[in-house]
Structure 1
Amino acid sequence: MIMKLTVTEITKKIKFLLESNFNSPVCVVGEISNLSVSPSGHIYFTLKDESAQIKVVFFKRYRMANTYKLNQGDKVEVIGDLSVYESDGLYQIIARKVVYDSAGDFYKRFEETKRILEKEGLFDKDKKKDIPLIVKNVAVLTSPTGAAIKDFIQTLKLNRVGLNIDIWPVQVQGAQAIKDIISKMQVLDRYVGIYDVVILMRGGGSLEDLIIFNDETLAREFFKLKIPTISAIGHERDFSICDFVADLRVSTPTAAAETLSKPYLELRNRIRDNINKIIRMSQIKLDKNYQLLDKFLSLVSYKNPKNIIKNKKEIVDKYLSDITSGIGLKIKNKYLILNEKLYIVEKKNPINIVNELKSKVRHIDSLLSSSINNKIEKCKFSLDILNQKLKLLNPENILERGYSIVYKNKIPVGSLNDVNLEDYLEIQFKDGYTSVFVTGKKVKKD
């Protein structure tokens, strides 16, 4: 019958079997990888060789007594106890002592490859191609399902930068990935003039995860690409041979997106600043033109023929009022004199005197009527003359007789001296307007 166990129970049994069989300290040789220090001072790393790896915990109390300072890639001897960390179900070494053995094989190969390629000039700055300031079409060599490409695209979206991104799917881990990436690079060389830049991309990982990017053949193929190249491999602290041969190395895939976005963001900010400047200058210009327009409108209103006629009409009306008032006053005075005479007549009452006075009154009345009529006729004549003058001054009547009015900038032109060559004039006829361009002037001789 099969024994039924919980995860905890099976883990405890494995822990007991492991620790009971290794009941004394062990000494294990390997290379340090994924080295990290916790805030509390404990050191965690992976001890590995070409075929396997094991987790190591170096607690602070043991580390403080150790003279050797651990470094990534060093080959070391780890002396400690084998244990099972039950929460993760992993077996590990609780290190008591770590002794330096030599430089690790991975780092030896890394430094050797780096030395060869650097000597051949593959890292030289003068051989690096310029990355275009404005990039539009991008080829990305990466895993299409990895977090790296997602971070890259998400950063471009956040920056609102629309690039044409073509993902060239490749493996980014394992020995087979090298051939896959090289074959895609060889195909990409046919796309010169189509892609502005090629990005070799992978997210962070351990030394083993990134080891393919230290391959000499891959690095040479990456260097040979005719299209400008960017390496975005691992985290900021990670360096690979491909980083050194690339035309531009960025720390992360997100940094690659930020690098490509920067010119667009700067251009967008510059356009926004220029638009604001144009709006501000246009507003200032508009305000000045409004003030100038108000000035011209005031000038036109002052010299408008209609206003001139209106003022003349007011003067004529005043003359008529004065004339009418003067005639009425004279009539009133005559009536007063008449009443006074009648009073005297009535008071003295001689019939002859009365008749004589009546005769004088009739004569006076006849003279007065004649005088009044003459005065009224004179006033009517003066009024007719003023009306004729008003008609002559009225531009509308002038236009009806075949004449026209010339305007410059909405102001009537009164003299040839007010007109310059290449001025634009407006001519008013009785039935409309026309515009003319001054090409010549002729002064009237005396």
Structure 2
Amino acid sequence: MNKYTVFELTTKIKTILESSFPGQICVVGEISNYSISTSGHCYFTLKDEKAQIKCVFFKRYRILNSEYEPKNGDKVLVTGDLYVYEKDGQYQILVKKIEYDSVGDFYKKFEEIKRKLEKEGLFDASVKKEIPHVIRKVAIITSPTGAAIKDFIRTIKKNGVNITIDIWPAPVQGEDAIPIVIEQINRLNSFVEYYDLLILMRGGGSLEDLAIFNDEFLARTFFNSKIPTISAIGHERDFTICDFVADLRVATPTAAAERVSEYYLTIEERIENLQKHLVKEMEYILMYNLQYLDTLDARLHKNSPLQKVRSQIQDINLIEKRMISFLKEILVTHERKIFESIRKLDIFNPVNKIENYSVQLEQYLKNIKSVMRNRIDLLRSRLDMMLNSLNLTNPDNILEKGYAIVFKEGDPITSVKNLHLEDELEIKLKDGYINGFVTGKKYRRH
């Protein structure tokens, strides 16, 4: 038995393989996992339903084939040399020419399912459930030994988030995994009241590795979950049908952990911001109400019935003063006349005339005093009547009887015609105010 080193065996295989295909070969297949390095070289997998082969497309050949830009899902005719890369022990095609054939079968099926479900409304934002802000219990369908769940748990611990994480194990690759994942989703939906969130999770991989998440029945089951769902499948560049039907799609399992942690990481900052906002709002409301209160107070002071009574009392007092002044002037005038008459009497000294004048003077004085008293009594009587009338019409006294005064924008309402539906009203009672809106009105029939 011959003994080979790894290098010797790989070299021998290389020699046999490359000598079996001495010239260029043409291979038809579908492009998968297409990527471009920083140096401009391209790497991709050429596959069909049963097999796949690695391909390298160097920059110089890309430039020669610049009329066509390869992309995942394209069905192409590749021309090149079969080559074994000893370092990795892999055989691959050194591509020198790529010709577009058609859209690959894999992408055809993907697009067909995508269009079908999209037409049925399974991707609509309106049907997506809201992801809870506060998450306490999470169910994750994934491989329990995969790197994805480890990354997720590591990130949760790093963020210091205390939540319950239940792993519902399921294979996440190969067609045999589809019914198991579907069964786990259905079983999980028996615990709607227990779990806040359901995450379907898998790490990165090729299009073939992620193919189960493009299955129509799996996607429909995931869509019908009563528990809010997050799709955390592959890497940021990877998209599956499950991503579109999920309530939320995140780029990676780590991103899913960050989303779950989001509320807890920002809660203190948000509480502080809400506190500041609340204080600011309260200050604004207080300032506004104080200004409005000052305006109402000025309005009330100006239109107050008590202020009007005081004003009228001032007018009456002014009239009274004027009347007294007028009467005093009359008295002074008559006194002057009397003194003038006495002077004349003293000059002429007629006894009879003096007596007559004395009697007349006394009577005249009585008349004057009587007139003055009557006039003053009349004025006082009018003043009392005016005060009584003011008291009777004083709105504050009317309010004591159970009546109310209705204001609109500070002015009293005297007619239903002055009101409209949804007008804001302020109703004054004897011990305060109430506010309301006009919801209807009815005219009184005469």
TM-score (norm 2): 0.60
> 1:6, 1:266 → 2: CA distance?
58
2:87 maps to a residue whose letter is S
Q: Could you say which residue in structure 1 is the equivalent of 2:5?
A: 6
> 2:273, 2:124 → 1: CA distance?
39
> 1:116, 1:76 → 2: CA distance?
26
How do 1:46-445 and structure 2 match up within 5 A?
A: 46-66=45-65, 67-270=67-270
> 1:88, 1:266 → 2: CA distance?
46
> 1:94, 1:274 → 2: CA distance?
61
Q: Could you say which residue in structure 2 is the equivalent of 1:289?
A: none
Query: What SS does the corresponding residue of 1:190 show, helix, strand or coil?
Result: coil
> 1:90, 1:97 → 2: CA distance?
21
> 2:70, 2:233 → 1: CA distance?
24
2:45 maps to a residue whose letter is T
1:42 is aligned to 2:60 = no
> 1:104, 1:187 → 2: CA distance?
35
Query: What SS does the corresponding residue of 1:96 show, helix, strand or coil?
Result: strand
Q: Could you say which residue in structure 2 is the equivalent of 1:20?
A: 19
1:181 maps to a residue whose letter is V
Q: 1:177-201, CA deviations, whole angstroms, 9 ceiling, x for partnerless residues? A: 1011001111111101100010000
1:259 maps to a residue whose letter is R
Q: Could you say which residue in structure 2 is the equivalent of 1:33?
A: 32
1:17 maps to a residue whose letter is I
Q: CA deviation at 1:19?
A: 1.1
Query: What SS does the corresponding residue of 1:19 show, helix, strand or coil?
Result: helix
2:40 maps to a residue whose letter is G
1:43 maps to a residue whose letter is C
> 1:18, 1:10 → 2: CA distance?
12
Q: 1:12-34, CA deviations, whole angstroms, 9 ceiling, x for partnerless residues? A: 11111111110010000111111
Query: What SS does the corresponding residue of 1:187 show, helix, strand or coil?
Result: helix
Q: 1:375-428, CA deviations, whole angstroms, 9 ceiling, x for partnerless residues? A: xxxxxxxxxxxxxxxxxxxxxxxxxxxxxxxxxxxxxxxxxxxxxxxxxxxxxx
Distance 1:119 1:271, change over 3 A: closer
RMSD: 1.7
Question: Which stretch has the larger CA shift, 164-173 or 36-45?
Answer: 36-45
Q: CA deviation at 1:208?
A: 0.5
Q: CA deviation at 1:103?
A: 0.3
Distance 1:99 1:135, change over 3 A: same
Q: CA deviation at 1:268?
A: 3.1
Consecutive unaligned residues in structure 1, runs of 5 or more: 277-446
Distance 1:275 1:201, change over 3 A: same
Q: CA deviation at 1:50?
A: 0.7
1:258 maps to a residue whose letter is E
Aligned length: 276
Q: CA deviation at 1:73?
A: 1.1
Q: Which has the larger radius of gyration?
A: 1
> 2:198, 2:164 → 1: CA distance?
12
Query: What SS does the corresponding residue of 1:173 show, helix, strand or coil?
Result: coil
> 2:275, 2:160 → 1: CA distance?
19
Query: What SS does the corresponding residue of 2:64 show, helix, strand or coil?
Result: coil
Structure 1 stretches of 4+ with a deviation exceeding 2 A read 268-276
Q: CA deviation at 1:122?
A: 0.8
Q: CA deviation at 1:266?
A: 1.0
Query: What SS does the corresponding residue of 1:75 show, helix, strand or coil?
Result: strand
TM-score (norm 1): 0.60
Consecutive unaligned residues in structure 2, runs of 5 or more: 277-446
> 2:52, 2:265 → 1: CA distance?
46
> How much identity, in percent, do the aligned residues show?
65
> 2:166, 2:75 → 1: CA distance?
41
Q: 1:88-118, CA deviations, whole angstroms, 9 ceiling, x for partnerless residues? A: 1111101110110000111100100011111
> 2:153, 2:268 → 1: CA distance?
19
> 1:92, 1:104 → 2: CA distance?
20
Q: 1:30-78, CA deviations, whole angstroms, 9 ceiling, x for partnerless residues? A: 1111111111111111101111110101111111100211101111011
> 1:59, 1:86 → 2: CA distance?
18
Q: 1:294-341, CA deviations, whole angstroms, 9 ceiling, x for partnerless residues? A: xxxxxxxxxxxxxxxxxxxxxxxxxxxxxxxxxxxxxxxxxxxxxxxx
> 1:31, 1:243 → 2: CA distance?
23
Q: CA deviation at 1:269?
A: 3.3
> 2:104, 2:274 → 1: CA distance?
57
1:41 maps to a residue whose letter is G
> 1:110, 1:19 → 2: CA distance?
36
Q: CA deviation at 1:271?
A: 5.5
